Amino acid sequence: MGLFNWFPFIRKKGYNPILLYHSILASMTTTGQRRLDVLGTSFRTIRHAYTSHPQDVANKILQKEVERFGNHHNMTIYIDGPQPEEKASTAQVRDAARMKALDHFSTSVGTFESRMKAGLKIKKQHFVSIKKDLASGFYWSISSRKHFAEYMRDLGWTVALCNTEADVAIAQDARPGDVVISSDSDMMAYVSVETLWRPVSQNLVLAYHMPDVLKTMEFSRNQLTALAIVSKNDYQRNVYSLGPATNYSIILAIGHKPDVRDIVSAYLRDGKVVTRNTEQETFETSMRVFIDKLQTRIEPVVVQMPSQVAFDACQQHFEDLMQKYNQWKQTRGTKSSSPQENIIRVRKSRSFNRYRTVESPILVSGPSPPLTALVTQEYNTPSAAAQQNHERTRKTVHDPPPKMKQFVLKPYKEPPTATNSNNKSKAKTEKDSTITKKPQRTKGKNGLVRSMAWHHPTVTLETGTLAANTKRVFTPSPAPASAKPTTA
């Protein structure tokens, strides 16, 4: 799992990783060594190879997958060892999930066997459910890892079978210019990692250059490691309700410090953290892994996990069940294919007949006697039989219907000449002059208002609005006052 929700968080901050294709990785030149985390990169290939094939064949399949990222000259392979003590809680959760999937596998197998005994049809969904549960319970055993390591060493590869996890071993060996290949986001937390290649689907690889990531996030390398320590990871949980975004804002406000532990201590003294840190978390385990690059090996080493023992038993049970199913399928097929149930369909060859009839062919069910001749299909309708002796006749000309005889075609007229068109225009003007035009109706108040709104807009008036000017027009002006006589 790694650091929870870290890759989407970095994309939201504005960093876009470089897109690479698998086809060019082998031919690319890198300044440093390539360091491949096999289990953190190719888990799906490992699960498919070691559940569907023997050990030798599975090793070859995984070898081809490894060779896509480089060759034995420029790449070192790291294989995980037993689970460390710091990751005990995560290992228990994953082992419980595998046991739950195997329990569901037993239920699906029971349904499969009951349908076989009852003679019912086995559907595709039954196989899908069984294979899905079996894949969810897979665990790459320590013995298979050692066998693959010896196989690759014999081919000249440099293989490191780690004491605990491959992440810590890669972080210890990484040098400036090296390229780390892993899908685990934990690798971004180590200070020694400079470039990370993250394989994704569709044969693509996303390249993260850590100096560019730090520049985009406005972080220092110690701040990024501190953010990984206080975030949710495989070793400890984060403080309740404080996700990557909130922790990022707190650590950004703290600023850069030369020691990562000082940044974590300042984070624990922050007001938001103090009120929510009810469990008094100190992140000592995460600091031991990400800063000191140390993990504790559990002694004695557990060669097989409980889920691994159950997985081996379930896988053997599924192989035996498939053998029984193949035998049951063959016996069921021979019983159903009796000669009494055959349906014989006899049909006249129609390869030469393009315009065949649409009636269905004759079906003969049951055991048919030896046929002396092919059964032909007779025509049932007299019209179809009559059409076989049809002879072509000459085209007959029919009289038009009575309705069409009511119309009389007009005789052809010559197109008008220039003189004719001038005469017509003169006649039209003379005709128009003789027509007397009716006087226009006097406009009422509403018509006058509309005319004024069109011809006399409001913006051209010196004073007042359109309504005020209209009112002023229709209001009679007062009579002038008579002059008063002057007194002597």
Residues with Cβ within 8 Å of residue 142, at least 6 apart in sequence: 81, 82, 301, 303, 304
pLDDT, residue 287, reads: 94
**CA atoms of 261 and 188, how far apart (whole Å):** 18
Q: Is the pLDDT assigned to residue 343 strictly greater than 70?
A: no
HEC sequence for 153-217: HHCCCEEEECCCCHHHHHHHHCCCCCEEECCCHHHHHCCCCCEEEEEECCCEEEEEEHHHHHHHH
β-strand partners of 19: 206
- Write the pLDDT tens digit of every residue in 59-85: 999 999 999 999 999 999 999 998 898
Measure the CA angle with vertex 14, ends 9 and 16; round to 5°: 90
Instruction: Pick the closest to residue 71 from 117, 9, 102, 25 (CA basis).
Output: 25
* Residues above pLDDT 90, as percent of the chain: 43
Q: Is the pLDDT assigned to residue 102 strictly greater than 80?
A: yes
pLDDT, residue 422, reads: 61
Q: Is the pLDDT assigned to residue 202 strictly greater than 90?
A: no
Q: Is the pLDDT assigned to residue 216 strictly greater than 70?
A: yes
pLDDT, residue 43, reads: 93
Cβ-based burial of 124 (10 A; exposed 0-12, middle 13-18, buried ≥19)? exposed
Q: Is the pLDDT assigned to residue 379 strictly greater than 90?
A: no
pLDDT, residue 336, reads: 53
Q: What are residue 255's phi and psi, to 5 degrees?
A: 90, 180
pLDDT bracket for residue 187 (50, 70, 90)? very high
pLDDT bracket for residue 229 (50, 70, 90)? very high
- Write the pLDDT tens digit of every residue in 139-174: 998 999 999 999 999 999 999 999 999 999 999 999
pLDDT bracket for residue 206 (50, 70, 90)? very high
**CA atoms of 179 and 196, how far apart (whole Å):** 6
Tokens of residue 316, six digits: 């053997």
Whole-prediction pTM: 0.65
Structural domains of the chain, ranges and CATH numbers in brackets: 6-218 (3.40.50.1010)
Judged by DSSP in three states, 276 sits in helix
Residues with Cβ within 8 Å of residue 420, at least 6 apart in sequence: none
Residues with Cβ within 8 Å of residue 118, at least 6 apart in sequence: none
pLDDT, residue 335, reads: 55
Q: Which of 64-73, 258-267, 306-315 has the lowest mean pLDDT?
A: 306-315
pLDDT, residue 224, reads: 94
pLDDT bracket for residue 488 (50, 70, 90)? very low
**Spatial contact of 132 and 108, defined as CB atoms under 8 Å apart:** no
pLDDT, residue 91, reads: 87
pLDDT bracket for residue 353 (50, 70, 90)? low
pLDDT bracket for residue 449 (50, 70, 90)? confident
* Residues above pLDDT 70, as percent of the chain: 77
Amino acid at residue number 443 = K
- Write the pLDDT tens digit of every residue in 382-393: 555 555 555 666
